[in-house]
Amino acid sequence: MIIPGHLLLELALAVLVASAAHGAELCGLTPTPSCGGHDYSAVFRPAERGIDFDSLPGYTRSAHYADHALIAVESRVFAGQRGWKSTLTAHLVSPARGANFAMYLAEMSDDSSAEPAKPGVERFVLVLQGEITVSHGAKNMVLGANSYVYFPPNSTDTLYSEDGAGLLVYERVYAAGGKPVFSSGDVEESALLPTGPEVFKLRKLLPQTADYDFNVHIMDFQPGEYLWVKEVHYNQHGLLLLEGKGIYRLADKWYPVQAGDAIWMAPYVPQWYAALGASPTRYVIYKDTTLDPLLG
Ligand code: UGY
Ligand code: MN
């Protein structure tokens, strides 16, 4: 159909008059703060280094499978727990999904305290912030951030915090049949260990003897460093990323991860990590050890 020129002109004028009457701008490709009362500027906003996925409603990187889980910061759920006074705990890993240990965060408020773990249960505490006082027999020991304490099974030692503290706690039912003993220390004072072909720095916070059925490793990676071994092993892991960011491969999934993320790895889940970003990665990781894989 051919529209005569004078009709086209009239049509254009009518559109202009109508939009002026509504006080609206014509919405084109140029971003405008207001377009008919709406703001479409996000469509053409300057390229950002990344979208803030974590603040998108309902979005989370958290995932839970039979052989691994990622628990991102926004997925933690805190509640009170028997044995812990004025403290909130968020359980990240537990036997509820087949793990042979529990891993939880404890947020201790002013004048808070913890009773000893249940009989037969050993407990390892890493102080992440604030200060706790451990009553070990007749001795009181003050532990600040980056220090740790291990309570063997059936220990009667307690701990309290006057001004609050943030803790990572590992617990398990003792299964090694030896004589593990109370110990405590500072992460940085723990010796660096040989790592074979691996380039990361490694510390083990518990003695490497058959008296212990798990150990807690601190692993440091410079940006760009990654696990040499594409690991598959019978041991279980509970990991908390303390600093940095990178990519964690778990089974056939590849997860972008950042400080604050927690990971559960079941026996034999393929696992691999690469540290990325501008700053180093540090993570703390539980690993059951010295137990006979045949007997569990
Ligand atoms: O010791 C370990 O199994 C440790 N390298 N695993 C890990 O970092 N995922
Ligand atoms: Mn491993």
Whether the pLDDT of residue 1 is over 50: the answer is no
CB 82 within 8 A of CB 106: no
Whether the pLDDT of residue 294 is over 70: the answer is yes
Whether the pLDDT of residue 100 is over 70: the answer is yes
Cα–ligand 2 centroid distance for 195 (angstroms): 13
What's the pLDDT band for 55 if we cut at 50, 70, 90? confident
Q: Which two tokens stand for residue 65?
A: 């499978």
> What pLDDT, on the 0 to 100 scale, is given for residue 14?
47
Query: In 10 A of CB 24, how many CB atoms?
Result: 14
Integer Cα distance of 260 and 90 in angstroms: 13
> What pLDDT, on the 0 to 100 scale, is given for residue 32?
55
> What pLDDT, on the 0 to 100 scale, is given for residue 217?
98
DSSP 231: B
CB 266 within 8 A of CB 68: yes
> What pLDDT, on the 0 to 100 scale, is given for residue 54?
73
CB 245 within 8 A of CB 209: no
Integer Cα distance of 162 and 217 in angstroms: 28
Give mean pLDDT, residues 207-212.
97
Whether the pLDDT of residue 26 is over 90: the answer is no
Cα–ligand 1 centroid distance for 152 (angstroms): 24
Ligand nearest the Cα of residue 239 is 1
Q: Which atom of ligand 1 is nearest to the CA of 219?
A: 8
Give mean pLDDT, residues 101-110.
98
Cα–ligand 2 centroid distance for 237 (angstroms): 7
Nearest to 276 by CA among 252, 257, 261: 257
Give mean pLDDT, residues 94-112.
96
Domains within the chain, CATH numbers bracketed:
41-288 (2.60.120.10)
CA angle 223, 217, 288 (to 5 degrees): 130
Integer Cα distance of 195 and 176 in angstroms: 25
Measured from CB, residues less than 6 Å from any atom of ligand 1 are 217, 219, 231, 237, 271, 285, 287
Q: Which two tokens stand for residue 42?
A: 């996000």
Give mean pLDDT, residues 191-220.
97
The dihedrals phi and psi of 31, each to the nearest 5 degrees, come to -60, 130
The DSSP code sequence of 199-222 is: -SEEEESS--STT-SEEEEEEEE-
Residues facing 221 on adjacent strands: 281
CA angle 149, 153, 159 (to 5 degrees): 40
CB 130 within 8 A of CB 137: no
What's the pLDDT band for 10 if we cut at 50, 70, 90? low
User: What integer best gives the mean pLDDT of the chain?
Assistant: 89
Query: Hey, CA dihedral for 55, 59, 61, 66, is it positive or negative?
Result: positive
> What pLDDT, on the 0 to 100 scale, is given for residue 291?
84
Give mean pLDDT, residues 137-143.
95
Q: Which of 11-15, 52-56, 213-217, 263-267 has the lowest mean pLDDT?
A: 11-15
Give mean pLDDT, residues 177-202.
97
Ligand nearest the Cα of residue 219 is 1
What's the pLDDT band for 59 if we cut at 50, 70, 90? very high
3-class secondary-structure state, position 53: helix
What's the pLDDT band for 38 if we cut at 50, 70, 90? confident
Q: Which atom of ligand 1 is nearest to the CA of 217?
A: 1
Whether the pLDDT of residue 281 is over 50: the answer is yes
Could you tell me which residue, 80 or 292, shows the higher pLDDT?
80
Whether the pLDDT of residue 5 is over 60: the answer is no
Could you tell me which residue, 30 or 293, shows the higher pLDDT?
293
